[in-house]
A and B are shown apart, each in its own frame.
Chain A
Amino acid sequence: MISLLVAVLYVVVGVMLVYTMRHYLFTLNRLFGRHRQPYVDIGAAGWPRVAVFIPCHNEEKVIGHMLDALLACDYPSESFVLIPIDDRSRDGTRRILEDYAARFPGRVRPFYRTGGTGGKAAALRDASEQAPGSDAPIHLVFDADYLPGRGLVKQLVGPFFDPETGAVMGRVVPLNVSKSLLTRLLDLERTGGYQVDQQARMNLGLIPQYGGTVGGVRRSALQAVGGWRDDTLAEDTDMTFRLVLAGWEVAYQNRSECYEEVPETWRSRIAQIKRWARGHNQALARHWWPLLKRPPHLRRRAVLDGLLLLGVYAVGPLLVLGWGVALALYYMGVQLAAGLAAVFAVAMYSTLGNFAAFFEVAAGARLDGSRGRVRLLPFLIVGFLVSLVSVTWATVTQLATAWRRSPRTWEKTTRHRPPELAVPKNGVGEQ
């Protein structure tokens, strides 16, 4: 029994060590490595037709702003159709969409869902197959609370001139930073995640992740891998790995930034991260073995990175398990053998895993030219603890109910945009 516990602890320590090294590798790459952005200068091109999908479920607070922003973008209007997908909204979303469709005929073509499986993945699946305009060769996807800049669509389409690019991901930048400590912490987390993590993957030729918004997929690639799956909570991670396994690349564009609204309450944040954890774990279960078998087009380092990316939400429960085992061993009077592993075991226990992620966030803030916000770094431990508990709980309940096939529904992040800004005033969206 004791031997088993010691072995478990060493496995946990080993996994944590690998993730620590990964964090440091990414951060050092961003601080000192070559910045790879091969598509950023594409400014002149024969721009292909694009369909922009915006899944909506009760989005009356934000959808008008989103459509206005997209209608003001500099993409050739004749090659550009907006497809808001209204999936059984019970608020004023449908009325707003009908208004835009009437004012911008041909450019705004709402797709209304009244039945079928609920959720973003199912909405995307139906619209990408059935909506008028969905035959465009490039499909972009935005969540309804995002505010794209004028040049963003061109920036996101640019990488698709590379025939190997199956998906593109831009950078998400929080807009409502000043609302609370939580929004400020999420701003820091996003900085680390995009400025360092995603860009380092791009630099190193690994697997940048398509994140489900501020990005898009090539329609032929989507069709080649079987379209969007509606039985997943993380259709973005699922799509990333299906594309990569089939021979496509995911391009990350760090300069293609888009504002988003991050959760302003802990309740909303916890619900969001639990959903992400369950979805990511689904992707882990589906794709770890095909990835480990290493298709001939994938390099070993890409496979390793892919496995670590898939397992990122499994680290939380693993860490909690490690703590439990370490405590049990301590009270059982077991002395760990001296050495590096013991040092890491103790460090893991006393520092919530490791501080490499903090280093990553600080480096990201520095690369962004931020000064004051990085001082909040110690408070990230609060966010990490909340995430750790939420992710662990989500994983445990997911494992416990894995046998049960529950219906897919919308698990929305609460929108906080003030109601007075919900429906834009006169002439909004006019060119």
Chain B
Amino acid sequence: MGPFLVLLGVTLLWFLLPLLPALSELLRPSDVAPLKVVDRSAGLISFFARNFRQYLEKVLPAEAGAGDYAAKLLDGTEFVRVTRRPDQLAAPGAAENRLVVLDAPLTLPGNQTFLMECYARGPLVSGPETNYRAVYAEHELTLGESNRVFRWTHAGGPLTVGAHSVLRGRVSSDSRVMLGPDVVFERMGAPVIAHGSVQEPPARPNGANGLKAWQPPVEARKVGDHTRIEGDLDIPKGVRVSGSLVVAGRLRIGAGALVEGSVKAHRDIELAEGAQVAGAAVTKTRLSIGAGSWVGGPALAEKAIRLGPNAVVGGPQLPATVSGTEVELAAGATVYGQISGMRGARTV
């Protein structure tokens, strides 16, 4: 009996061994909080910038006034405050490792590196080759050629980005963003974002009344409020399509044609020159919005999106989002709202 009980005990222990971590977690819980996943900062482009602004309001000493001096924030972070003497900042070629508060309008000479955040209360112009960790400007912000921002950028006024700049993270303006050529960024939001010059959306879609009505192919079928086509579809130039379309293959919208609803394709969508889609354009692959074309709603592609010269997405009263794995904007391309490129967006 003795050996049997020993064997039984050892067997039970052996069986319980893999359960020890589970029993430990059950008796002494270490991870019982609800997942901290709800309502994280996913949507708001200016989330980190606004947080930084709120942080400064809390930690900037109450007695800190305008002037040129260095001190510490309430949390011990060193900062430098600049009103009239920018020479307090690190010289060109050197790195500034304090948080920077700029009280007056300022033009930086360039070739500087700011290792901590930069907060500009007046208009700020930075020279070429300036590197920022992050920059928050209450008013106008002009980034010179080949500037780099590593975390986020926000301007309360217009934001101008010089050629060959790279803006990582979220970029936002409460007014507008004007991009130079060869600018690389990830997520950007503003009432209007343009490469080179701002284009207006068509005041009234292509004189819709004068366009010939499009006749769907015989195999098309009505699904709820949209027309579905299995296979590829070419919409001829200069026709008017009423309602929305879902195409199981590739979709090409001819020059000057107008779709009064939204379009979706399982493969590539191509809008020829001057084509217009009043609603959204959604594809599981690539979206090409041709020169002078217009998409009124969100433009979404699970691969690349290209906005041709003077192509427009959204409008002043109709914000929209451009979202794709990669986004490319030709000169004159204008987006009223947001641009998001998972692997990057760039101007050409």
A and B are partners in one complex rather than unrelated chains: yes
Are A163 and B340 closer than 8 Å at their CB atoms? no
Q: Which residue of B lies closest to A377 (CB)?
A: B22
Q: Which residue of A lies closest to B228 (CB)?
A: A247
User: Which chain B positions have C-beta within 8 A of A375?
Assistant: 21-22, 24-25
Chain A binder among B31-39, B127-135, B148-156, B174-182: B31-39
Q: Which residue of A lies closest to B223 (CB)?
A: A247
User: Which chain B positions have C-beta within 8 A of A354?
Assistant: none
Q: Does A379 contact B (CB under 8 A)?
A: yes
Are A368 and B45 closer than 8 Å at their CB atoms? no
Q: Does B91 contact A (CB under 8 A)?
A: no
User: Which chain A positions have C-beta within 8 A of B19?
Assistant: 378
Q: Does A427 contact B (CB under 8 A)?
A: no
Q: Does B267 contact A (CB under 8 A)?
A: no
Are A248 and B320 closer than 8 Å at their CB atoms? no
Q: Does A223 contact B (CB under 8 A)?
A: yes
User: Which chain B positions have C-beta within 8 A of A296?
Assistant: 230
Are B321 and A42 closer than 8 Å at their CB atoms? yes
Write 6 A-B pairs (CB below 8 A) sorted by A numbering: A42-B323, A46-B297, A46-B320, A151-B44, A162-B282, A372-B25
User: Which chain B positions have C-beta within 8 A of A39?
Assistant: 300
Q: Which residue of B lies closest to A190 (CB)?
A: B35
B280 to chain A: closest CB distance in Å?
4
Chain B binder among A21-29, A89-97, A254-262: A254-262
Are B261 and A376 closer than 8 Å at their CB atoms? no
Known A43-B189, A163-B279, A375-B25; further 18 A-B contacts with Cβ < 8 A: A42-B321, A43-B321, A43-B340, A44-B338, A46-B297, A163-B226, A163-B244, A163-B264, A163-B282, A164-B282, A176-B34, A181-B26, A248-B223, A370-B35, A375-B21, A375-B22, A375-B24, A376-B22
Are A44 and B35 closer than 8 Å at their CB atoms? no
Are B248 and A297 closer than 8 Å at their CB atoms? yes
State A246–B246 Cα separation when bound (angstroms): 13
A427 to chain B: closest CB distance in Å?
21
Q: Which residue of A lies closest to B319 (CB)?
A: A44
B229 to chain A: closest CB distance in Å?
10
Q: Does B194 contact A (CB under 8 A)?
A: no
Q: Does A287 contact B (CB under 8 A)?
A: no
Q: Does A267 contact B (CB under 8 A)?
A: no
Are A45 and B320 closer than 8 Å at their CB atoms? yes
Are B318 and A184 closer than 8 Å at their CB atoms? no
State A191–B35 Cα separation when bound (angstroms): 10
Are B263 and A163 closer than 8 Å at their CB atoms? yes
State A155–B297 Cα separation when bound (angstroms): 16
Q: Does A301 contact B (CB under 8 A)?
A: no
State A372–B26 Cα separation when bound (angstroms): 10
Q: Does B224 contact A (CB under 8 A)?
A: yes
Q: Does A327 contact B (CB under 8 A)?
A: no
Q: A151, A191, A220: which contacts B43 (Cβ < 8 A)? A: A151
Q: Which residue of A lies closest to B230 (CB)?
A: A296
Q: Which residue of B lies closest to A42 (CB)?
A: B321
User: Which chain A positions have C-beta within 8 A of B264?
Assistant: 162-164
Which chain B residues (288-322) contact chain A, with CB distance < 8 Å? 296-298, 300, 302, 314, 318-321
State A257–B284 Cα separation when bound (angstroms): 24
Are B297 and A218 closer than 8 Å at their CB atoms? no
Q: Does B123 contact A (CB under 8 A)?
A: no
Are A41 and B323 closer than 8 Å at their CB atoms? yes
Q: Does A286 contact B (CB under 8 A)?
A: no
Q: Which residue of A lies closest to B28 (CB)?
A: A372
How would residues 336 to 373 of chain A score, 1 for a CB under 8 Å from any chain B CB and 0 otherwise? 00000000000000000000000000000000101111
Which chain B residues (1-57) contact chain A, with CB distance < 8 Å? 18-19, 21-22, 24-26, 29-35, 37-40, 42-45
User: Which chain B positions have C-beta within 8 A of A304?
Assistant: none
State A175–B18 Cα separation when bound (angstroms): 29
User: Which chain A positions have C-beta within 8 A of B272?
Assistant: none
Are A368 and B32 closer than 8 Å at their CB atoms? no
Q: B223, B248, B323: which contacts A246 (Cβ < 8 A)? A: B223
Q: Does A310 contact B (CB under 8 A)?
A: no
A219 to chain B: closest CB distance in Å?
9
State A36–B35 Cα separation when bound (angstroms): 21
State A158–B245 Cα separation when bound (angstroms): 18
State A293–B18 Cα separation when bound (angstroms): 47
Q: Does A174 contact B (CB under 8 A)?
A: yes
Are B282 and A173 closer than 8 Å at their CB atoms? no
Are B246 and A164 closer than 8 Å at their CB atoms? yes
Are A161 and B25 closer than 8 Å at their CB atoms? no
Q: Does A40 contact B (CB under 8 A)?
A: yes
Are B39 and A368 closer than 8 Å at their CB atoms? no
B30 to chain A: closest CB distance in Å?
4
Q: Does A290 contact B (CB under 8 A)?
A: no
Which chain B residues (312-348) contact chain A, with CB distance < 8 Å? 314, 318-321, 323, 336-338, 340
Are A379 and B22 closer than 8 Å at their CB atoms? yes
Q: Does B187 contact A (CB under 8 A)?
A: yes
B169 to chain A: closest CB distance in Å?
14
State A155–B321 Cα separation when bound (angstroms): 13
B46 to chain A: closest CB distance in Å?
10
User: Which chain A positions have C-beta within 8 A of B42?
Assistant: 40, 151, 155, 255
Whether A44 touches B320, Cβ cut-off 8 Å, given contacts A178-B29, A375-B21, is yes
Are B21 and A161 closer than 8 Å at their CB atoms? no
Which chain A residues (170-215) contact chain B, with CB distance < 8 Å? 171, 173-178, 181, 184, 187, 191
A351 to chain B: closest CB distance in Å?
14
